[in-house]
Structure 1
Amino acid sequence: MGIVPDEAIIQFKALMDQVEEPLKRTYQNIHQGYQTETLMRFLKAREWNVAKTHKMLIDCLHWRIQNEIDNILMKPIVPTDLYRAVRDSQLIGMSGYSREGLPVFAIGVGLSTFDKASVHYYVQSHIQINEYRDRIILPSASKKYGRPITTCVKVLDMTGLKLSALSQIKLLTIISTVDDLNYPEKTKTYYIVNAPYIFSACWKVVKPLLQERTRKKVQVLPGNGRDELLKIMDLTSLPHFCTKEGSGSSQHAENATESCYSLDHPFHQQLYNYIKQQSLINEPDKPIKQGSFHVDLPEAAAEGTKIAETIESELLKFENGNGISRSASSLKIIDD
């Protein structure tokens, strides 16, 4: 990270100390008592330019208010079967903690289909996981380890990655733009595992398009990454797709409860129950409302659009050259 520009933090903090309600309340929900660490995250996202960073954070606060993000953990996706379908097609889960105390999130890039619900449900689910991580998991980890823990690590499983169904790139670019603008620098390291040849080919052309700080976060591990990941986490925290011994293993656990993607996994059970309980506390006399929680969908930034277009172009070259049919996912590395 280099030397922290203390003066930039002091200037930025002085500006944010002037924030009044309702921005002040949602700002507190962002920093959860770790104000300096939050200011540093946003400053890094804008290359330590205080004026640009101040605009970014103020825009983020307005986005949270306009879209009622502070209340999103009171809005369960119901019925449960619909939420289970979201979980089965938007593969993400938390498998445990690194030895540093950072939450370990697993993402099934290659096998996610995003075809069981509307875009708004997937965006709602993604933001709810972000908010639960930031408001519940990270503060709890900080207390347990006695120091600020404000980031996580992500293990991206490329199992099943094939030529892209181009319609998915738009949704993934929307989600990544939400993260870029409102949850910057929340991931310390991305570990890529089970990467097929098509990923390696696309990574060569996408990597130069990423900002340097993002490129430095990405580590492509051999096979399922088990041996390398065990250097930073215990076996019990390994994502289920990394637990087989030896490289190249990418089989998912047969028992759904072993998969950290599944609604039956303790992380998702705790998350879902928490949201339902918050809903009942907020409106105890009303039935839980069905329907998605709509969030304004952002326009992709120029960098994200260029990356998406490059991925599409490269994958079409593969399709035209090899005659392979189009399928699953996108390779957008999210700079959050």
Structure 2
Amino acid sequence: MASSKIVDPSEPTPEASRWQQESELLRVATLWQLSESELEDLSTLGQRLVDVSHWKNDPSEVVRFLRARPSDVDAAERMFRNMIAWRLANRVDTILQDYEPPPIMWAYYPGAVLRDFDRAGDPVYVGRIGVTDGVGMLQRFGRDEMIRHAIWIREFVSRGEWIQRFETRQGRPVRRVTLVEDLQGLSVSHLNRQLLSVYGEIMRLDQDNYPETAKKLIIIRAPLLFRTIWKMAKFFFDPGVVEKMVFVSAKHTAKVLEEYLDLHILPSCVIPEGQGQATDGMPSRFEGGPLPKGTDGVSDGK
């Protein structure tokens, strides 16, 4: 999330110069509060990646992979190289320019970075998979479109134009995001085998290619059914990601959320007193619901 604008993949990639600037390494070390050994590992990793000509080959990006594979430079290097190969194979670098979510998916797949921040001044992302018609999405658009949409969302979160607004307002770079996932409305329809397979793919590509994006993952209003889903879903998550999760019952939702953020920054469909809105450029409708029948046009969409 070091970029303050949408990166143009056609621009030259000054990997060597960024890695050779001691001031850049120290800036990253300060931002991520790296220990001396971690800084040494980051420098070593930079030397190993000298052959990778890609804008992601930057200390502020590579450090995420080192944090995802702590004390294992070999694993961090493999993870980073696999990510670059995945981006090239799936044309991820240009997705913000050449892909636009279908209007109905935009309107009925709630998930966005909010305009305001958590108590530490970091961005907040709210998703509402519980009210998302996942089966309807899969039937209408298919696996590939759902995966493409998921990648688009993650690219916008990691390098969209909202980051420049954040940096101007907060006076510092984005490091990580507080994620709030609302599971109210989760039902047996979400146990569809094909849908769970797609969600599993999304969870995996998220962790493999966007590590250390989440500062905290707060899962709220989970119904009893979630226990069954979690038994299957937990295997898609790395241990480090599970450690960041906070599971909150409906009864204690407001109390726990208040520890991390002011409730008024959240959408009203999540918290009654909420007045929060999505940042510009992201879906602004958080209600979700069943997909309308027979048309891809929506009056309250994009």
**TM-score when normalising by structure 2:** 0.69
Q: Which residue of 2 aligns with 1:92?
A: 111
Task: Quote the offset at 1:190 in angstroms.
Answer: 0.9
The residue correspondences of 1:237-316 to structure 2 (distance < 5 A) are 237-244=265-272, 266-267=278-279, 270-271=281-282
Q: Which residue of 2 aligns with 1:230?
A: 258
Whether 2:37 is the aligned partner of 1:12: answer no
Whether 2:47 is the aligned partner of 1:24: answer no
1: CA distance, partners of 2:223 / 2:248: 12
1: CA distance, partners of 2:228 / 2:282: 37
Match of 1:170 among 182, 193, 197: 197
The residue correspondences of 1:1-336 to structure 2 (distance < 5 A) are 4=35, 5-16=38-49, 18-20=50-52, 23-25=53-55, 27=56, 35-36=59-60, 38-77=61-100, 83-96=102-115, 97-114=117-134, 115-116=136-137, 117-136=141-160, 137-163=162-188, 164-200=191-227, 202-203=229-230, 210-223=237-250, 225-244=253-272, 266-267=278-279, 270-271=281-282
Task: Quote the offset at 1:62 in angstroms.
Answer: 2.1
1:103-143 alpha-carbon deviations (Å, 9 max, x no partner)? 21111122222323222222222211211221133454244
Corresponding pairs, count? 241
Task: Quote the offset at 1:39 in angstroms.
Answer: 2.5
Moved more, 212-221 or 184-193: 212-221
The letter for the 2-side match of 1:195 is: A
1: CA distance, partners of 2:89 / 2:238: 29
2: CA distance, partners of 1:119 / 1:204: 23
Question: SS at 2:54's partner residue?
Answer: helix
Task: Quote the offset at 1:89 in angstroms.
Answer: 4.0
The letter for the 2-side match of 1:173 is: G
Question: SS at 2:130's partner residue?
Answer: coil
The answer to whether the 8 Å contact 2:123/2:177 transfers is yes
Task: Quote the offset at 1:198 in angstroms.
Answer: 1.9
The answer to whether the 8 Å contact 2:114/2:278 transfers is no
Gaps of 5+ in 1: 246-252, 273-336
2: CA distance, partners of 1:130 / 1:48: 26
2: CA distance, partners of 1:6 / 1:87: 41
2: CA distance, partners of 1:100 / 1:14: 34
2: CA distance, partners of 1:208 / 1:118: 24
The answer to whether the 8 Å contact 1:226/1:244 transfers is no
Gaps of 5+ in 2: 1-31, 284-302
**TM-score when normalising by structure 1:** 0.63
The answer to whether the 8 Å contact 2:204/2:236 transfers is no
1:207-240 alpha-carbon deviations (Å, 9 max, x no partner)? 5885432222111123272232223222332233
1: CA distance, partners of 2:81 / 2:65: 11
The letter for the 2-side match of 1:19 is: D
1: CA distance, partners of 2:244 / 2:83: 24
1:73-123 alpha-carbon deviations (Å, 9 max, x no partner)? 112437xxxx23213443312233213232211111222223232222222
Name the % identity.
21
Question: SS at 1:106's partner residue?
Answer: strand
The answer to whether the 8 Å contact 1:94/1:104 transfers is yes
The answer to whether the 8 Å contact 1:101/1:141 transfers is no
Question: SS at 1:10's partner residue?
Answer: helix
Task: Quote the offset at 1:65 in angstroms.
Answer: 2.0
2: CA distance, partners of 1:2 / 1:175: 29
